[in-house]
Amino acid sequence: MTPWIHLIVAGLLEVAWAVGLKQTDGWTRLWPSVATAALMIASFFFLSLALRTLPIGTAYAIWTGIGAVGTAVVGVLVFGEPRSAARLVCIVLIVAGIVGLKLTSASSS
């Protein structure tokens, strides 16, 4: 897998563990807690693979951007969080930043 695929997988796993974190109920529920911890480890593992090649500033910003956008979208679609125009514009701006970082990255591996 390329570093960019590793980074995308890491970001998607971040979305999964963020959603899982809500399900742990403050780490008081065993199996959601175990699953969330495993997702966290997997996310960091894939991020570390991407960091072998990609610049840390770019990779970290994209990883957190994927996590933030994905988690916000899940919040709106699954948990009924607000979907105001301002919120959607902010999500689009994060996506624009992610795309911009990818396009201007020194390592296009």
What percent of the chain is predicted at pLDDT more than 70?
A: 95
pLDDT (average), residues 62-87: 94
pLDDT (average), residues 42-48: 98
**If DSSP codes are grouped into helix, strand and coil, which group holds residue 50?**
helix
Q: What is the pLDDT of residue 105?
A: 78
Q: What is the pLDDT of residue 16?
A: 98
Extents of the domains making up the chain: 3-103
pLDDT (average), residues 45-68: 95
Interatomic CA distance for residues 71 and 88, integer angstroms: 13
Q: How far is CA 67 from the centre of its chain?
A: 2
In this predicted structure, the answer to whether residue 3 has a pLDDT above a threshold of 90 is yes
- Count of CB atoms within 10 A of residue 43's CB? 22
Query: Strand runs (DSSP E) across 1-109, as ranges?
Result: none
Q: What is the pLDDT of residue 1?
A: 66
Helices 30-50/56-79 angle, 10° precision: 150
Q: What is the model's pTM?
A: 0.87
